[in-house]
Amino acid sequence: MALLKALFLPPVGFLVLVLGGFLLRRRWPVLAGTSIAVGLVALFLISLPAVGTSLLMLHQDYPPLRWDQISADLTGPDAPQAIVVLGADFEERPPEYGVPQPTALTFVRLRYAAYLQGKTGLPLLVSAGNEASESERGAVVMKRALEEQLGASVAFVEQASTTTAENAVFSADLLRERGIDRIYLVTHAWHMPRAKGAFEREGLVVTPAPTGFATSPSLILFDWLPSPQGLQSSYYFFHEALGRIAYALRPAS
């Protein structure tokens, strides 16, 4: 699965088009030229921050929570009973810390989960089973960062999952054992549609609590020059697009 993702997602997928064009240029020159041109133009476009952020915004179906909405949620008959925050990736050997740490992508989610807990007082569940190191799972790293760096309190640790779908399955099992079926779900705004669908598929009532929003590109020059940030945003867009298609096609459990 990891190999397929690497081959089909940018930038490798477009580099394959370019390479294929070079290999075919003697036998099928027109097809080869088209393949090279499409690959190079696509690579240029997806490397622009303005393009990458604009693409990511297409996945942002849910607005940020407002304080008046949180207050209404907590006093309503279907008030959320817990906060679930999903992990992303981790840094295995940061020399300045000496123990695994969440990357910036994961820390954005943790910071908002801690903020939301401070506003609501709800118990917090961390979910990530991917290996942060040889000895620690991602959820353990998330728990440590929340408690030691952000002053939050973690009630539940789900450390068996390696995908968003498994985040939902294993978190739902853990929560239902404790009579919890209504949650705030914290993840990036562009990841929320897929994540919310996965958790609702497991029978949970989900109030989206998105963070890490991609924002509209500006007219400054750097938004229109190729950059690693542009490629990264485009990568996340295509990753989520393929993920949403795959999850939509999954048979009902």
Peptide bond into 11 cis (omega under 30): yes
Q: Are 108 and 210 in contact (CB under 8 A)?
A: no
Which residue, among 23, 45, 46, 47, has the nearest Cα to 35 in the 3D structure?
A: 23
Domain ranges of the chain: 2-58+223-249, 67-211
CATH 3.30.70.3400 is right for the domain spanning 67-211: no
pLDDT per residue of the chain (253 residues) written in tens, 0 to 9: 566 677 678 888 899 899 999 999 989 999 999 999 999 999 999 999 999 999 999 999 999 999 998 988 888 888 999 999 999 999 998 999 999 999 999 999 999 999 999 999 999 999 999 888 877 999 999 999 999 999 999 999 999 999 999 999 999 999 999 999 999 999 999 999 999 999 999 999 999 999 999 998 877 888 899 999 999 999 999 999 999 999 988 876 5
pTM: 0.92
Structure tokens at 97: 């810390």
